[in-house]
Every structure is written in structure tokens, then in C-alpha cells.
Amino acid sequence: MPKETFFNINTEKRKLITTAFLREFALKPFDEASISEVVKRLGIAKGSIYQYFEDKLDLFLYLLKESGDIKKNYVGSIERESYPNFWAFFKALYEAGLQFDKESPLHSHFLFNLIKNLQSPTMEHLYKEMLQSTVLAFEEMVKTEIEKGLFRNDISPDTMGFMLYRVGVSIQEQMEFKSIINPKESILNSEPVYKDKNEQLMNMVDDYILLVKPAFDKN
């Protein structure tokens, strides 16, 4: 939670700062991200950052929450009931994600890099926590589908939940692996992660669904 002062400053300046640090954390793991470098680039005093935030972690957590909140605006309204099956719902989440990516590219980059960012020893605790809650959410979805009789019930739902979570990560990672997207580069231009690549992402999602569907669906 930033200090009040942060919310009192000029909106434009606030955005400048936010932007600069989103970028930094989108490029480097927490422990390697450098406040000093960013303020130098921003041309503001290092002390100022500590007027706004308790410390580096506070700053990071603020960006995390902000990014999460914004993403929720896009993804939060998607509900399972509105879709004929889980996979349609799953795809819808990605489509919403693309909208978010397009309209808040830096927040998107920040979240894109989150897993890597959390590998820093300093972040170990937070990492476990976030993983836990993310996986849990997927587990819940799986359980619901199993109850509906739509997913198989011969494999423990936690393994299936974890796998589903992993699918998400894989998709993103494969896009990068195949050099379809190039985050490091697009960050610098404040361009969306998936700029001009929406279709290719959705194709990849389709592929994954094709692959995973028979593994999850009953029969």
C-alpha cells in the first residue's frame, strides 16, 4: 500500500512513475530490478520514491495489485454459465485477456513476466502464496466440471487443476519460445505483448484445447 502522497501527486507524473516501474519489473526479476536506474531515467530524486512507497516491495505490490485489478475489469465478467462448455469459457478468458493486453500493454507485460519475477529469493513466500491461490482457482473449476459430469473423475482434481494452470503458462511460454512474440522488445515501445499476434495466440489456444480436451473431458 503506497503512502497517501503517491495519490496526491499530479496524475500525469504518477502515471510516468508507474509506467517506468512496470517496465522495469517487466524486464527483470525483483531482486535485479533497480530503483536507482529507473529514477535516473525518470530524472527524479531517488528520495521521492520513498515518499510514495514504503520500500521496493511496497512499490512492487502496488503495481501487482493495480495490474491485477485492471485485468479483472476485463476478465472478471466472464462467467462459466454463459458458455456451453468449459473450453469455450476458457477461450473467452483469453479473448478478454487480449483486450486487456491491448489497452493496458504495460500492465499486461508486468503480469506476463510475473512468474519469472517471483523467482527471486526475496519473493519466495509471495510466490508460493500466489501459486497456491491460482492453482486453487483452477481446481475449483475442475471440481465443478467433474460434478457436472463433464470432466473425468479418475484423476485427482488437484493434479488436473495444476495441469490446467500449467497449460496457461505453457501457451504464453510457447508463444515466446517460437519467437512469435518478443516481450523484451515490445516493452520498450509500450506495445502490447500480443500486438498483431492475437490470431496466432488464439490458434495456439485452440491447439492446446484440442490437445487437452480429450485428456479432461469425460469419455
Partner DNA sequence: CATGAATGAGGCTTCATTCAT
Partner DNA sequence: TATGAATGAAGCCTCATTCAT
What DSSP designation does 7 have? Answer: H
Closest CA to 51 of 109, 106, 4: 4
Instruction: Classify 217 as helix, strand or coil.
Output: strand
Per CB under 7 A, does 23 bind DNA?
no
Which C-beta is closer to DNA: that of 25 or that of 94?
Answer: 25
- 106-125 residues in contact with a copy of itself (CB under 8 A) are 116, 119-121, 124
What DSSP designation does 54 have? Answer: S
210 binds, among DNA, a copy of itself, none (CB under 5 to 8 A by kind): a copy of itself
Q: How far is the CB of 94 from a copy of itself (least distance, A)?
A: 15
Task: For residue 43, count CB atoms less than 10 angstroms from its CB and return exposed for 0-12, middle for 13-18, buried for 19 or more.
Answer: exposed
Per CB under 8 A, does 216 bind a copy of itself?
yes
Binding segment toward DNA, per CB under 7 A, in 42-50, 149-157, 174-182, 208-216: 42-50
Q: Which residue has the cell 508507474?
A: 18
Per CB under 7 A, does 34 bind DNA?
yes
The radius of gyration computed from the CA coordinates of the chain, to the nearest angstrom, equals: 19
Per CB under 7 A, does 33 bind DNA?
yes
Count of residues of this chain found to bind DNA when the rule CB under 7 A is applied: 27
> From CA 152, how far away is CA 135, in angstroms rounded?
18
Work out the number of other CB atoms within 10 angstroms of the CB of residue 127: 18
Q: Report the interhelical angle of 105-112 vs 56-75 (nearest 10°).
A: 110
34 binds, among a copy of itself, DNA, none (CB under 5 to 8 A by kind): DNA
Binding segment toward DNA, per CB under 7 A, in 33-41, 69-77, 108-116, 167-175: 33-41
Q: Which three cell numbers stand for residue 35?
A: 530503483
37 binds, among DNA, a copy of itself, none (CB under 5 to 8 A by kind): DNA
Q: Which three cell numbers stand for residue 133?
A: 491461490
Residues near a copy of itself (CB under 8 A) are: 27-29, 31-32, 116, 119-121, 124, 128, 131-132, 135, 154-156, 158-160, 162-163, 166, 169-170, 173-174, 177-178, 184, 204, 207-208, 210-216
